[in-house]
Amino acid sequence: MTTQPRTGVTPSLRPDLARIASWIEPKSRALDLGCGDGALLAYLRDVRQVQGAGVEIDDHHVIECVRRGVQVIQQNLEDGLALFDDKQFETVVLSQTLQSMHRTEHILREMARVSRYGIVSFPNFGYWPHGWSILRGRMPVTGQMPYAWYNTPNIHLCTLRDFEDLARSLNLRILERATFNEDREVRVLPSWRSTLAVYRFAAP
């Protein structure tokens, strides 16, 4: 686990990350899987006094985490969370990474094992322009899913209902949901109108 003193700069957050942060109890323990540059963890530390740690594979992102003073472990999430004990954290976050995992059920079970609560976010494949694109014979390319079919890291795309069915099959109790289209929260017809879904669930 690598860390250096914090920079003292409080990061601003995207709306979806701000919602995730609001769901994490102050002064609790949190783990951010695929934590990127550590912006969420730095915010949680500085604003909500959360004891946080991250897991990240990308070298450049790990360096950014260190610069922010965020505790980070460099590891491939496909290897699981064996480094962590049962219920070691109050909350585990997997932000915009679920769709790129090969072992989707495994990572969700591991999140439930090491924490009381889990938070996941993912692109909503049910967004209505995606269906229109497929009707025109093309795989969708949007701001939330900007890759072509041959170079996309997104291997397990799903809709809101798909994820809710999976959560139910794993005995994960969904507590809260928020949906977004770019920087705007979507409250009407979210299954069709949102590009990103964020869920908070309780472990069995």
Tens of pLDDT, residue by residue over 25-69, are 999 999 999 999 999 999 999 999 999 999 999 999 999 999 999
Mean pLDDT to the nearest integer, 144-166: 77
Indicate if the pLDDT at residue 11 is higher than 60: no
15-202 placed in CATH 3.40.50.150:
yes
Predicted model pTM: 0.88
Indicate if the pLDDT at residue 193 is higher than 90: yes
- Lowest mean pLDDT across 11-15, 137-141, 176-180: 137-141
Highest mean pLDDT among 20-24, 125-129, 180-184: 20-24
99 contact partners, CB below 8 Å, separation of at least 6: 122, 123, 154, 155, 156, 157, 158
pLDDT in tens, 77-120: 988 899 999 999 999 999 999 998 999 999 999 999 999 999 99
72 contact partners, CB below 8 Å, separation of at least 6: 1, 2, 3, 35, 38, 53, 54, 55, 56, 62, 65, 66
Q: How confident is the model at residue 12 (pLDDT cuts 50, 70, 90)?
A: confident
pLDDT in tens, 129-147: 666 666 667 666 666 656 5
179 contact partners, CB below 8 Å, separation of at least 6: 124, 160, 185, 186, 187, 190, 193, 194, 196, 197, 198
Q: What are the b/e assignments for 31-53, b being 16+ CB within 10 Å? A: bbbbbbbbbbbbbbbbebebebb
Chain mean position to CA 118: 9
Give the pLDDT confidence score for residue 151 in this predicted structure.
Answer: 58
Indicate if the pLDDT at residue 9 is higher than 50: no
Instruction: For the chain, give every domain's residue range.
Output: 15-202
* Cα(57)–Cα(65) distance, integer angstroms: 12
- Decide: 94 and 107 in contact? Cβ < 8 Å: yes
- Decide: 143 and 195 in contact? Cβ < 8 Å: yes
Chain mean position to CA 40: 10
